[in-house]
Structure 1
Amino acid sequence: MRPPKPADPRRSALMAKVRQRGTAAELAVAAVLRAAGHAYRLNVRALPGSPDFANRTKKWAVFVHGCFWHRHPGCARTTTPKTNAAFWQAKFEANQRRDAAAVQSLRDAGFTVVIVWECETENAASLRAKLQRSLKRVA
């Protein structure tokens, strides 16, 4: 079931300009993975959810989620536009369902899955620690 179309074409055009790949958050994660010596592929379409970073041999996948689009719990960036709220609520719920299904499919296939939130990429030390902790057993 598709969510209804947005009511405001200007808002739709603005949101269409939001980058999907090559974001600052993704570049930060890539730098940490490279520095740690992890080999990876970008946006692996052959895997459920097309993880932003994945190593199919070692069976790990990393998703870099924007706090707004993927609804980071408790994050100040997780706002909901007041205009056309029903549209946005349906869109966010569909995103969350899709994300959960992709993560579950990967875990069922034996992958270690790491979710990195956009706001977590601002502190390089804690990002490095999170990725080291999460990928330690598969490295």
Structure 2
Amino acid sequence: MLIGIDPILSPDLLRTLRAMGHGDEIVIADANFPAEACARTLHRADGIEAPRLLEAILGVMPLDTFGENPANVMAVVGNPDEIPPVVAIFQSTIDETADTPAQLSSIERFSFYDRAKQAFAIVQTGEKRLYGNIILRKGVVK
């Protein structure tokens, strides 16, 4: 245990977050996401909902401010303008927790998978709500 570090952040995940550089991306994925097939590095957070993990990660990792769209979600198939409930929670979590809040942008499903394959790491959660996936781009610690 450490003072000020959320206990749901495992030692391995903390190491990954620390090793990431500016511009590297991490995916927080729901339980249905094909994480094993996509991940270069995979962390498991079974039993933890995606917004809860997002809050913990944003407590130690800054979002990128040098480029556009540092936080991206998967667009709903067949209705890209729809905002699923879990995505609305992601936005409130970013608004309340991120060092520099950003507006979420959405990416088409298969483009999201392709981008996830390039991410530094994927954390698969126990999130059961559909579209509970988000990609975060790490910023600079000021």
What range describes the TM-score normalised by the shorter chain of this pair?
A: 0.3 to 0.5
* Greater fraction of residues in strand: 2
Task: Output the TM-score relative to the length of structure 1.
Answer: 0.34
Task: Output the TM-score relative to the length of structure 2.
Answer: 0.34
* Greater fraction of residues in helix: 1
Higher RCO structure, 1 or 2 (CA under 8 Å, sep 6+): 2
The structure with the largest alpha-carbon Rg is 1
